[in-house]
Structure 1
Amino acid sequence: MSMELDKDAHKAALDSLEKYLRDELELDVGNLEIAGLLTFFVQEIGPSLYNKGVRAAQEQMQARVADIDMEVYADEFGYWKKSPRRR
């Protein structure tokens, strides 16, 4: 699966990465280098984060499916249980 950011997220990520490099590491890096670094991060690390999200979603869905019997369960043959006087 191809990892890509949409246009707005890509721009925000570039701005954030540039600010981090400048403010935290005191590096003055050009836009082309920043874009290359972002592309590397997205392609190299993105799939791991994506897969982690998929696993978390699968776990959530499996937990919900496991609990579905409690949500939609109906007691069977309960007519005689409702009134102890009936025989």
Structure 2
Amino acid sequence: MNMVKKITKEEKKQIVSSIQEYFEMERGEEIGSIAAEQLLDFFMKELGPYIYNQGIRDAKGMVEEKVMNLEEDILSLERPVGRKLY
């Protein structure tokens, strides 16, 4: 799965620009847009699945929490049954 294809051209352009800025500011090196795109492609391929899977785990946890709260809310609507003896 190539996750780079899932980002827009504008997003890719912005990320490539950020990579170039990072190299210039942090490493004192200039890299071209092709090198920055290749680096982006490499990291998306290598790190993308880890980041994606963590997002899935986070979403699963959030849904589980919401379902638990919904269950509690529904159960709180129950009415007592049977006769009350006074």
TM-score, with length taken from structure 2 = 0.82
Q: Gaps spanning 5+ residues in structure 2: where?
A: none
Runs (4+) off by over 2 Å: 75-81
In 2, Cα distance between the equivalents of 1:16 and 1:71? 46
Distance across 2 between alignment mates of 1:9 and 1:72: 43
Could you say what the CA RMSD is over the residues aligned between the two structures, in angstroms?
Answer: 2.0
Q: Which has the higher helix share?
A: 2
Amino acid corresponding to residue 3 of structure 2 in structure 1: M
TM, length-normalised to structure 1: 0.81
Number of equivalences: 83
C-alpha deviation, 1:33, in angstroms: 0.9
Identity %: 27
Instruction: Give 1 or 2 for the bigger CA radius of gyration.
Output: 1
SS of the equivalent of 1:28 reads coil
List gaps (5 residues or longer) in structure 1.
Answer: none
Equivalence for 2:79: 76
| SS of the residue 1:24 aligns to | helix
**Aligned-pair distance for 1:62?**
0.7
